[in-house]
Amino acid sequence: MVNLPSEQITINLGPQHPSTHGVFRLRVTLDGEVITDVEPIFGYLHRGTEKLAEERTYTQIVTLTDRLDYTSSMINNQAYVLAVEKLAGVTVPPRGQYLRVLTAELQRIASHLMGVGFFLQDLGASGTPLMYCFRERERILDLFEMLCGARVTVSYMRPGGVFQEPPPEFWPAVRHLLDTTPDAIAELERLISENEIVLARTKGVGVLTKEKAIDSAVSGPNLRASGVAWDLRKADPYDVYADMDFAVPVGSNGDSYDRFLVRVMEVHQSIRIAEQCYRDMPGGPVRSELPFFFRPPPGDAYAHVEASKGELGFYLVSDGGIAPYRCKIRSPSFINLTVLAEMLIGWKVADLMVIFGSLDVNMGEVDR
């Protein structure tokens, strides 16, 4: 066998995913097909969310949070309004808290379905699994449309609670969704979890060790897939999560397969939480009434939630005015991307998009 000398080449890969147009690409150095170096390059969405927030009232900012992780807008709303309430000392009625948790878990299901569906598409699967995921997500978006008239950028939550009481037709639709979704998810699992191609392309591929995940401040399913049972809904409960009975799924290998499987398992736990919210939903008002131009006292506050992609936090500083003096967002996708280069080195080009897809990042919250 003759070892021929080869010259390394550097190429640009991407934008590959349909939502990374100009926002993310990789400068990859290759020795043949083997990746020897990676430089992630972030583009710009020209949003400036944090600076825009300093020129809008506390209520108007809710609409900005929808555009961060636009597949998880309900949970973005929740993180922001919790920070405002902490800053202003606002109490949320129990019904408002239950509605927040119910809608946040429905949103988590929808987000994970997109993460799993597009991951399988990146892997080279047919469009069938993605269409299964879209089918179930659409049913959840129908519920959101009943709540607020919007499907994606919902702006449903408000400081003090939620926008409005759900209409009467919402509750039978939720009941039907909770009754039928477990079978639909089980069907998806049967289709892919033991699929020979899926196993060959994901098992042992792109391993993120427990130690590296912790050192890099990775959070969410990517952290739990590495064997760390850390979930803010358990570790630092907010709204009514302390009253909910649910498990925290964890992986054992930290590979691309575990990251995919943890998200599927979390969908089952979200259904479990939503069932409890539906069963125990209290009566009463859905929000505490606040003036549109309310003014929190001078000070600062940080609140975080377990978003679908990890820890999402808002840090707000008030100078006593109708808008924050400063707003800073801790977005999980940005932090989770910091480990990508190390995960890719040593693997081949064919594995690159599998590993990248398994992280389930959203560029709307990478560049703010």
The domains found in the chain, sorted by start residue, are 46-335 (1.10.645.10)
Tens of pLDDT, residue by residue over 282-335, are 999 999 999 989 999 999 999 999 999 999 999 999 999 999 999 999 999 999
Q: What is the pLDDT of residues 52-106, one digit of tens each?
A: 999 999 999 999 999 999 899 999 999 999 999 999 999 999 999 999 999 999 9
Other C-beta atoms lying within 10 Å of the C-beta of residue 98: 23
How many CA atoms are closer than 13 Å to the CA of 276, on its beta-carbon side? 17
Assess contact for 271 and 109: CB atoms under 8 A.
yes
pLDDT at 18 over 60: no
Q: What average pLDDT does this structure show over 176-201?
A: 89
* Residue 65 near residue 79 (C-beta atoms within 8 A): yes
Cβ contacts of 297 within 8 Å, gap of 6 or more: 88, 89, 318, 320
Residue 16 has pLDDT above 80, yes or no: no
Contact 224, 263 (CB under 8 A): no
DSSP state of 90: P
Average pLDDT over residues 232-247: 97
pLDDT band, residue 196 (cuts 50/70/90): confident
Q: d(Cα 161, Cα 197) in Å, to the nearest integer?
A: 46
Query: What's the whole-model pTM score?
Result: 0.94
> How does the average pLDDT of the chain come out, rounded?
92
Find out whether 30 and 8 touch, Cβ atoms under 8 Å.
Answer: yes
Beta carbons within 10 angstroms of residue 215's beta carbon: 10
Q: What is the mean pLDDT of residues 354-365?
A: 90
For 30-45, how does the pLDDT look when each residue is reduced to its tens digit (9 = 90+)? 999 999 999 988 877 7
Report, as an integer, the average pLDDT of 184-201: 86
pLDDT recorded at residue 262? 96
- Percent of the chain beyond pLDDT 70? 96
**pLDDT band, very low/low/confident/very high, at 362 (cuts 50, 70, 90):** confident
Write the CA distances from 365 to 95, 237, 309, integer angstroms: 29, 23, 10
193: pLDDT strictly greater than 90: no
Joined tokens for residue 296: 């929190």
How many residues are there in the chain?
368
Q: For the residues 173-190, what does the mean pLDDT come to?
A: 92
pLDDT at 20 over 70: no
Q: What is the pLDDT of residue 2?
A: 62
Least confident of 106-115, 116-125, 266-275: 116-125
Residue 271 CA to residue 231 CA, distance in Å, equals 17
- DSSP three-state, residue 306: strand
Please, which pLDDT band fits residue 162 given cuts at 50, 70 and 90? very high
